[in-house]
A and B are shown apart, each in its own frame.
Chain A
Amino acid sequence: MKPTRIKALAYKEWREILRDRLFLSLAFIVPVSMMLIFGYGIKLDVENIPFAVLDQDRTAMSRDYLHLFMDSRYFDYKGHVQSERELEPLLADSKIRFAIIVPPNFQENLKAGRPVAVQSLIDGTFPFRTSTSKGYVIAINNAFNGKLLAGFISRKMGVPPGQAAALVEPVKVQLRYLYNQEIKSLWSIAPTMMMFILLMTPPFLTALGVVREKENGSIYNIYSSTVTRAEFLVGKLLPYLGISIINVIILWLMAVLVFAAPFKGDPLFFFLASVIYVSCTTGIGLLVSLFARTQVAAMMITVVVTIVPAVLYSGLLVPIASMDAASQFEAHLFPAMYYTDIALGSFLKGIGMGQLWGRVGALLFYSSVLWIAAYLLFHKRVRT
């Protein structure tokens, strides 16, 4: 390998990228906007669910019951309606996502010791949001039941209300959330998004950059010259690796400064692990570019080979541990999972090389396999 030729290739590529506005924005603006859009867009916390109320009882007790919902930060009270028919269009237009109907004689029945059924209507369009909403409804309902029970015990047994409450709920669950104390999903989303964006954009750029040369024929300058295969691959990809490393820094700064995610680990360790990760994802792009002949095809293949593992097998949506055996196995085949662990570990847990060396090793291995495969598959004397 001759450094002068590698330098010539890399310098040429770098200037081409800098002068091509479209490509340059693809390189730097896309990752940043993805971080902003997804960071704010994928909020897994369900809060402020808009809801309306139909109170057919209009008594002190029904108002007490409904106020539990209105005062909750999870629900956003939109108003009372007069009949059940008014609810339907509101739900259909997504003006509200939840409605609660208190039947007539709510107070009277309860006082008489008869059970009552309160109807709640929940928008089931998004199962995740629905099940969360359902959880909130049940929890609030339980709280109301508990209050009623405590009042009853207090009255019957003549104990103070505080003691009665303890009697009603003898075993209390005490929760302490570790690593993400406020269970803000944004804290864990920001590092996960770094995984996602750094898996998607480097292969895109690399594949487009190489296939562009194949498509317009300038690759023949390489084929017909005395540049070696290794020189070409290294020289051609250095600028793309450089762009991705700059993006690592930009995205890290965004995660910390814009999304206020706490970074508890070792910045140097995390940086180096990220460099290995992007060299790995750049390798994916390189491999794709060897098979694709047109830029359009390269883009399609890149989307398939990166988005699927990024979404399904990285721990982004479903934790790896809760997958079935086959999916867990598949997850281990993609680099995304290892980096998710590294990113979350560095950000939230503050762990480093001591605990994560296995993951870093896996990425290193993955990266070498990709680059060696690309080297072996790239030929300067082609069949077509």
Chain B
Amino acid sequence: MGQAALVAEMPVYPVVEVRGFCKRYRNQVAVDSVDLSIQPGEIYGLIGPDGAGKSSLMKAIAGVLSFEGGKVQVFGIRIDSEAAAERVKGRIGFMPQGLGLNLYAELSVEENIDFFAQLREVPPGLLAQRKRQLLAMTRLEEFRDRPMKQLSGGMKQKLGLACTLIHEPELVILDEPTTGVDPVSRRDFWAILAELLRERGITALVSTAYMDEATRFQRLSLMYEGRVLAAGEPDQIRQAVPGSLVEVTVEPQIEALRRLKAKYPQVEAVGPVLRTFVDGVSSKAAREQVAASLDDLSVEAIQAVDSELEDAFVALLRQRKLAGQPAAGAAGTPLAEPPASDEVAIKARGLTRDFGIFRAVDQVSFRVIQGEIFGLLGANGAGKTTVIKMLTGILPPSAGQGQVAGADMRRARQAIKEHIGYMSQAFSLYQDMTVLENIRLYARIYAVPRSQLKQRIDWVVEMAGLQGVEDRLAGKLPMGIRQRLALGCALVHRPRVLFLDEPTSGVDPIGRRRFWDILVQMARVEQVAILVTTHYMSEAEHCDHVALMYAGRIIADASPVQMKQALQQEAGQLLDIATDRPLRALKALEQAGFAGVALFGRRIHLLAKDPQQARQQIESRLTQQGISLLDITPRIPSLEDVFVYRVMAREKEARSQ
């Protein structure tokens, strides 16, 4: 382990030692017998969806939350009282959840840092020196005097980090520092964090809800509903789950999906690809099994691939019977012959919206055809929600035109509302009404004829997999089910166009998968046009077509595969490099002038136009520095890579102007 090697001369005792930790809120068990041990100098991750118990555990370790059972030891001191907690607080830095919420909105960047330093009694001389370093590193130097409330999400998080590190703690605890931050800033944040920790030999405990950030950690605990499902190095966790993942591109996709679903419990459609997890067999056997069940269909490509952490997480939940029954609902819908149509469902031309002098949406144009899943991607504040509000007739545009379901957005607002379904960020359900009452209410609001009422309601219950919870109160349902109910309510009047505004924020991976199952079904079978916004880049892979939004503009618009190909043509092949000393290698490669160099856990990613030549350069460069190269693998870039590259290019352009 890279970091471990750096601190090898120190006596190795765990910085944090947790045994049998239990936390209850009233009668609700939030965390149940969790063990955890963090070694000095490591970046330890807690990964899990909302409500997994990450925050409770972190707060208890930071000494700001009391707990009911178990033992928590920090720096060898047992945290069992307020007085004991006080003894370790000087050596800890804690950043709570929420984008910049723990900072002071009215104070400037510098005043925020100064306040934290004064709280921690950093001497003025030392403060000036550390502040200079931290501001330089986080590139906040030029914003020194800007009030915190005027910073972007990514800048707020970097400022939060600087404030947390100003007293040079030995242990930093960061609760979901990257949630809601755009991918560029996220990468930036991780790079800064890695460098700061390495320079100062700081130990870190970091939580995240993004499964794809797992590679940033040396070790991690996978949490779900208050328990640890698995712990260890990311690769170990993935490999420890028995089974193999097979990716297949096949026509007709919907028939293949139906067959695989009947046979395997873990199947998902990601754009044109079907990903099937086959339990308990080797990759070769898995590939053969999947191929056999699709033998009479036209298989374009089939291969066994390494499973992602999310696949492993879902498989673990399933194998331990922690998740509910697999998504039966979507698969059970009768398959109708897809009405072939290339009809345009949504057409936006030059949509613009100003709020005062601030232009939230700038000249946005795109089109979505019936049966297509269209993803609008971007960070918080990129203008996604404003676009949806204009298209659904809630907000009049400042300029531009839009057509939805054949009607003009400006003139036929009422007609549009009858033909669309809309699910907003905060699901607009009535918490004190039962599931059936909610569906019935929406059916009435959308004027579903009385004669069809029962049939429609039954269809929604089946489609959204709500059997068994019909009479429960909406407010008492788990997040994932509530989200499917909201989707069902938006679909009750059989709209031709469906708008979903960040529908999956905070939902666990299994819930997300079931949700996407339904969306794929609606698009492929019912030919509904779906426009969905998200800031989960991994989720965007499900879309047929993606538009990247940045600062109110669309900066790229194509299918995910096309986007990745375009990136490879423009910037080169993505290489994944493993070395024995990743942090030193990172610096060496950056100095060598490679593009897009970024650290992912112990691996380094970079872009190279000529992979062969780059290999040699990398090898010689690393050997010079006394670093041994373990492995170089070419990889297909992710949508996140695309987003980061496009935004960086855009920013570079803006700077040069």
Contacts and interface: CB of A to CB of B under 8 A. Distances in A.
A20 B106 contact: yes
A16 B82 CA distance: 29
B98 A382 contact: no
B119 A217 contact: no
Contacts of A9: 119
Contacts of A28: none
A221 B115 CA distance: 10
Contacts of A19: 106-107, 147
Interface in B456-485: none
A4 B118 contact: yes
B111 to A, nearest CB: 7
Q: Which of B62, B65, B119, B121 has the most CB of A within 10 A?
A: B119
Interface stretch (B87-95, B331-339, B534-542, B613-621): B87-95
A232 to B, nearest CB: 9
Contact of A382 (B64, B94, B96, B101): B64
Interface stretch (A182-190, A223-231, A319-327, A328-336): A223-231
B112 to A, nearest CB: 9
B94 to A, nearest CB: 4
Nearest to A383: B66
A382 B96 CA distance: 14
Given A225-B89, A380-B85, A5 B118 contact: yes
B82 A380 contact: yes
Given A4-B121, A379-B82, A216 B107 contact: no
Contacts of B120: 225-226
A181 interface: no
Interface in A1-21: 2, 4-5, 7-9, 12, 15-16, 19-20
A5 B118 CA distance: 6
Interface in A333-384: 379-384
A291 interface: no
Contact of B85 (A7, A227, A381): A381
A379 B107 CA distance: 26
B118 A8 contact: yes
A19 B118 CA distance: 20
A78 to B, nearest CB: 52
A137 B63 CA distance: 73
A9 to B, nearest CB: 8
B25 A384 contact: yes
B283 interface: no
A117 B86 CA distance: 84
Contacts of A220: 59, 62, 64, 94, 96, 102
A15 B82 contact: no
Contacts of B116: 221
Contacts of A5: 118-119, 121
Contact of A226 (B65, B81, B90, B96): B90
A45 B342 CA distance: 80
Nearest to A218: B102
B104 interface: yes
B97 A217 contact: yes
Given A16-B106, A216-B102, A226-B89, A381 B64 contact: yes
Contact of B89 (A8, A224, A379): A224
B607 interface: no
Interface in A206-227: 216-218, 220-227
A225 B115 CA distance: 12
B207 to A, nearest CB: 14
Contacts of A16: 104, 106-107
A223 B66 CA distance: 12
A221 B101 CA distance: 11
Contacts of B101: 216-218
Contacts of A7: 118
Contacts of B93: 224
B547 interface: no
Nearest to A228: B86
A224 B92 contact: yes
B103 interface: yes
A224 B194 CA distance: 23
A380 B25 contact: no
Contacts of A221: 102, 116, 119, 163
Contacts of B102: 216-218, 220-221
Contacts of B63: 223-224, 380-381
B64 to A, nearest CB: 4
Interface residues of A, number: 28
B115 A218 contact: no
A225 B106 contact: no
B96 A217 contact: yes
Q: Which of A218, A222, A381 has the most CB of B within 10 A?
A: A381
Nearest to A21: B106
A240 B120 CA distance: 23
A224 B91 CA distance: 10
B191 to A, nearest CB: 25
Nearest to A220: B96
A381 B107 contact: no
B106 A15 contact: yes
Contacts of B65: 381-384
A9 B120 CA distance: 11
Q: Which of A224, A225, A227, A383 has the most CB of B within 10 A?
A: A224
Contacts of B59: 220
Contacts of A384: 25, 65
Contacts of A216: 98, 101-102
Q: Which of A5, A16, A225 has the most CB of B within 10 A?
A: A225
A352 B138 CA distance: 61
A218 B104 contact: yes
Contacts of A379: 82
B97 A382 contact: no
Nearest to B79: A381
B64 A224 contact: yes
A227 B85 CA distance: 12
B188 to A, nearest CB: 23
Contacts of B64: 220, 223-224, 380-382
A223 B58 CA distance: 13
A383 B30 CA distance: 12
Interface in B1-49: 25
Q: Which of B64, B66, B85, B111 has the most CB of A within 10 A?
A: B64
A384 B67 CA distance: 9
A269 to B, nearest CB: 37
A214 to B, nearest CB: 11
A2 B119 CA distance: 10
B92 to A, nearest CB: 7
B221 to A, nearest CB: 21
Contact of A227 (B62, B107, B111, B119): B119
A217 B107 CA distance: 16
B174 to A, nearest CB: 12
Contacts of A383: 65-66
A71 B261 CA distance: 97
B115 A8 contact: yes
Contacts of A15: 106-107, 111
B96 A12 contact: no
Interface string B350-369: 00000000000000000000
A224 B62 contact: yes
Given A216-B101, A381-B65, A8 B86 contact: no
Contacts of B89: 224-226
Nearest to B67: A383
A4 B123 CA distance: 11
Given A12-B111, A220-B62, 6 more contacts: A15-B111, A19-B147, A220-B59, A224-B94, A226-B89, A380-B85
Query: Which 3 interchain pairs have the tightest Cβ spacing?
Result: A8-B118, A224-B94, A223-B64
Interface of B: 25, 59, 62-66, 81-82, 85-86, 89-90, 92-94, 96-98, 101-104, 106-107, 111, 115-116, 118-121, 147, 163
10 contacts: A5-B118, A12-B107, A217-B97, A217-B98, A217-B102, A218-B101, A225-B119, A226-B89, A227-B119, A380-B63
